[in-house]
Amino acid sequence: MSSAEAAAATRLLPCLALAVLAAGSPTTAPPAAAPAPAAAKQKECPANLWTVDRVPENFDKEYRLPRNVMPEHYDIRVDINIGDGGKFDFEGHVDILLQATEPTNQIRLHSAELQVEAVQLVEAEGGQAVSVSVESQALVTEQEQLRVELGDKLVPHKKYILKAPFKGKLGDDLHGLYRSSYMDEATNTTRWLATTQFEAIYARKMFPCFDEPDFKATFSIQAGHNGSLTALSNMPAEKTEPLAQRPGFVLTSFPKTVPMSTYLVALVVSDFYVTKAEQAEGKAQVAIWGRRDAAGQMAYAREIAPKALAFFEDYFDIKYPLPKQDMVAIPDFNAGAMENWGLITYREAQLLFDPEASSQTAKSAVANTVVHELAHQWFGNLVTMKWWSDLWLNEGFATYMATLGTANLHPEWQHMEDTAVSQALSMLPLDALESTHPVVQPIEHARQISQSFDTITYRKGAALLRMIHSFLGEKAFRQGVSNYLKEHEYGNAEQDDLWSHLTAEAHKGGVLPPCLSVKRIMDTWTVQSGFPVVTVLRDYDKGTANVSQVRTMPRMPSAAAQQTRFFSSGNKNASGECWYVPLSFTSASDARKAAVGSETRPPQDWLRCQAGVQSVSGLPAQDKWVLFNVNMGGAYRVQYDDRNWELLTAALGDPKERASIGLVGRAQVIDDAFELAQAQRLPYAVPLGLINTLQLEEEYQPWRVALNALSRIDGLLKTDVRYHMFRTWVRGILHDVFEKQSRLRDPVAGFQALKLKNLITSWACKMEVGDCLEQTRELFAQWRASPQPDKSNPIPPDHRALVYCYAIRHGKSQDWHWLWQRYLRSNVASARVTILGALGCSRDLWVLRRYLEWSIDKESGVRLQDSAYVFSAVASSEVGYPIAKDFLYTRTESITKHFGASSTRIGRFVSAVASRVTTPAEYEELVEYTKKSSTFLTHADQAVKQGLENALINVEWKRDHADEMFKTIGTFQFSALSDVE
């Protein structure tokens, strides 16, 4: 930046100061934003403000389709053999109505793993179908393209119909049009079904098409299938009639859809049971489909789906545009769910809920997933990103709106607080890696498309929307979003389109000054990687803090408050990134008490890019703490001077004052302190001192954050000869809070209390505190003694995961085999997932190795969708880690073959192993493995890079912090813990 630009940026302070006016917090009914002063509207905007340029797409031009022809409508006919005559295949034809945009003698569209017969092209206009000469057609496998060469050039603005017959296999790789199955309990026979998964680039596996998101068109679909089955698609079935040429088969026809992208087309053919929600006048018909044996598990989804649809219709001020919304539970499903317009498909555990066998956590997951997918009907379906680099407009928005929608359905769950903490725990550590990527990720290779469906896209995207909601306020945010959807409905957009509408509403309501746009602020967060750490150095005499920015950050800054990029490793230096940071803060004397609730707070000030020294005023008295970034409203971390850390620690240790910091605030302070200590920005005495205050904590979220941090440290110190010191200290912290919990068999009132009990008990069993292990053994033994264990289970559903795990860990191989039989016979998907995780807790090496082999054997009973989960369960324990590592290193080719060469799932295996690496030798072994196996890891290179970096951070942590950790723990008093050992 030039000196002139720096000077201009410095002049931005009075302009930014206007932005703190009247931006209400994102609550259900916030106060209306106050208008900006008239003088502010006339202020001249400084020139050359700091900007971040979006990286141009550098995608292979041969892979992207040209825009010389554009599809308008597809007529699709597909006949499917789902085990009929022993066949699993399909055949059909597609007629694509096209319009030429320029003279051209080539048509390029997508096709993958299909046998496409000779195509024809005819003119669509006029009374007769005039053929256009097709000189040749060729399938380019690498680009998955069907290229049609014509004898004559097409006429611009003229319409044509491309006719393409096709055939394909009904595979089991969970992509395209594929087969799934389940065991029918009544007849003890295997039932087959066909379903689709087209996102991101798999519609081309069912029919030739223009398989990029901005090639929107309408679709008319016909499906030929066995008459004993029912066909579903995006629209309600129009008619079903017998196929005269094939006895026993019928043809189901569906009317024309609204304009949409190919990845949203869907088809399910099955014998599923259906239950329908009561339909209100003028509202879409909601129906839940699934196995008949699971009919009793559909009531909860049927109850909440219409409410969520109504919530979004009201929030966006846009009616749901289709006449129905089917939701289908698929036994084999790659993702958690897929938002196909009007026909959402789910993994069973994400849609079905059994009150007798499913935990409250499983119920929460169902609610969040259902609401997430329904939010997509507007964000993603009605308005779709132009290209996959803006995927966060789909997934980040659906994730954030799911938080608002679920909180509306269940205000008693404290879902807003849960989400704020969850995002910090999952997103910030990943974004603190050098190998992270921007929210707007330039797509340079086809394999990056699937890899972009990750935590950064979902969780960071949602966190940034929460931040925008906070500094714009409810009125401007909600109206801006609604206007964006209305302008681009049935079309495509990119993030600048959203910024434009939000800025217009912000200026209209006076919540942003004319010289500042949402784009200027948010490009610093979405176009560049990472996030800042904001350092607050207080002037206690003046009640202020000086704020400035520098390029580098020492371990313990001694000058002004600063902003720089945060890295998890203390061995990384900032590289010049800069952010516009909304600064909100609170204290015990704050009359608004905003910290106590879950709401974020409008900024009281801004930390801006490339500015000179600025002063933040309004801080509390010398003896009072201050907490910045209220309720984690911004996606950044906060570093304080030593004195403020001492004041916060003292407040958390005071039974009367700790509540004033707020639930999310208490979790935030602990999380920031541990991450800053890891990055060598804070002595570990600070976060460990905060941990010692947990004896007073009675809420789930602060304990969750603290034990999450200690879990990682526990794994890194496990092999140290001094480990007993750490273990004794943790046992002392857990002892009293564990004794306060009721016994496992006793009910608990409230979801948060239930989660706290589960968390504390799990750690008590891990550290062998009190009678925790004895309780698990007793409950498991009672279940084993039950004459009908598949129908009667005395273990409370919410505690089954920990009871199963510790019973298996401390039990015999016979216990393992008995629980495996319960898995095979269970009718509840969430219960099956719980058992799969517990089976990985075994300490029998041969059992674990066999379990891993079963995970990639499609005949074993472990479904393809659960293979990576099995591996992670085994790798997560000190006994299982060496077995899992050896399995990965020696069986990579088999694992890749199991999932398919283009699958990204192998990345989860690498990540699971990398997270357990603690020594230089293990790290070098991992590096060598990734080099040797690079051919198999190509489609998971992002996860591999992040795994390697995390592994190196582990090694560096042991080198840099282990001695400090034990030295600090040694200063604590252990005399009170003698009865714990």
One-letter amino acid of 919: T
Q: How does strand 563-565 pair with strand 544-547?
A: unpaired
C-alpha 346/C-alpha 336 separation (Å) is: 6
Distance of CA 784 to the CA centre of its chain: 37
Q: For 465-491, what is each residue's pLDDT tens digit?
A: 999 999 999 999 999 999 999 999 999
Out of 75-79, 141-145, 256-260, 887-891, least confident range: 141-145
- Ligand-binding annotation for 157, yes or no, is no
What integer pLDDT is reported at residue 574 of this predicted model? 65
What integer pLDDT is reported at residue 865 of this predicted model? 93
Give the residues across from 260 on adjacent strands: 217
Residue with the bigger pLDDT between 60 and 976: it is 60
- Ligand-binding annotation for 474, yes or no, is no
Whole-number percent of the chain with pLDDT over 90: 79
- Ligand-binding annotation for 410, yes or no, is no
What integer pLDDT is reported at residue 62 of this predicted model? 80
Query: Tokens for 550?
Result: 């520098």
Instruction: Provide the Cα torsion 645, 651, 653, 658; round to 10°.
Output: -130
What integer pLDDT is reported at residue 563 of this predicted model? 67
Instruction: Provide the Cα torsion 923, 926, 932, 938; round to 10°.
Output: -120
Which sign, positive or negative, has the C-alpha torsion 837, 840, 731, 426?
A: negative
Using 50, 70 and 90 to split pLDDT, how confident is the model at 600?
confident
Phi, psi of 101 (to 5 degrees): -105, -15
- Residue 89: strand, helix, or coil: strand
User: Is the pLDDT confidence value at 969 over 90?
Assistant: yes
Q: Which of 428, 484, 350, 894 is nearest to 672 (CA)?
A: 428
Q: For 807-835, what is each residue's pLDDT tens digit?
A: 999 999 999 999 999 999 999 999 999 99
Phi, psi of 171 (to 5 degrees): -80, -170
The answer to whether 765 touches 806, Cβ cutoff 8 Å, is yes
C-alpha 863/C-alpha 181 separation (Å) is: 10
**Highest averaged pLDDT of the listed ranges 209-223, 535-549, 585-599:** 209-223
What integer pLDDT is reported at residue 13 of this predicted model? 42
What integer pLDDT is reported at residue 981 of this predicted model? 44
Q: For 891-941, what is each residue's pLDDT tens digit?
A: 999 999 999 878 889 999 999 999 999 999 999 999 999 999 999 999 999
Give the residues across from 196 on adjacent strands: 177
What integer pLDDT is reported at residue 610 of this predicted model? 64
C-alpha 906/C-alpha 893 separation (Å) is: 10
| Residues annotated as part of the active site | 373
User: Is the pLDDT confidence value at 583 over 60?
Assistant: yes
What integer pLDDT is reported at residue 615 of this predicted model? 79
User: Is the pLDDT confidence value at 959 over 70?
Assistant: yes
Out of 208-222, 881-895, 961-975, least confident range: 961-975
Instruction: Quickly list H helices, 679-750.
Output: 685-691, 700-717, 723-740
Q: For 344-403, what is each residue's pLDDT tens digit?
A: 999 999 999 999 999 999 999 999 999 999 999 999 999 999 999 999 999 999 999 999
What integer pLDDT is reported at residue 556 of this predicted model? 39
**Highest averaged pLDDT of the listed ranges 443-452, 711-720, 969-978:** 711-720
What integer pLDDT is reported at residue 760 of this predicted model? 96
What integer pLDDT is reported at residue 799 of this predicted model? 96
Q: For 667-700, what is each residue's pLDDT tens digit?
A: 999 999 999 999 999 999 999 999 999 999 999 9
What integer pLDDT is reported at residue 339 of this predicted model? 97
Q: Summarize the confidence of residues 930-959 as an average pLDDT.
A: 94
User: Is the pLDDT confidence value at 15 over 80?
Assistant: no
User: Is the pLDDT confidence value at 538 over 70?
Assistant: yes
**Highest averaged pLDDT of the listed ranges 117-131, 165-179, 565-579:** 165-179
Residue 609 parent element (H or E): none
Query: Tokens for 336?
Result: 């958690």
User: Is the pLDDT confidence value at 493 over 90?
Assistant: yes
The answer to whether 279 touches 345, Cβ cutoff 8 Å, is no
C-alpha 614/C-alpha 544 separation (Å) is: 10
- Residue 18: strand, helix, or coil: helix
Q: Summarize the confidence of residues 16-39 as an average pLDDT.
A: 38
What integer pLDDT is reported at residue 442 of this predicted model? 87
Q: Summarize the confidence of residues 414-443 as an average pLDDT.
A: 92
Average pLDDT, the chain: 89
One-letter amino acid of 509: G
What integer pLDDT is reported at residue 43 of this predicted model? 42
Q: For 539-580, what is each residue's pLDDT tens digit?
A: 999 998 866 544 333 443 333 445 688 999 876 766 678 899
Using 50, 70 and 90 to split pLDDT, how confident is the model at 590?
confident
End-to-end CA distance of the chain: 60
The answer to whether 837 touches 828, Cβ cutoff 8 Å, is no
Distance of CA 726 to the CA centre of its chain: 33
Q: Summarize the confidence of residues 618-627 as an average pLDDT.
A: 92
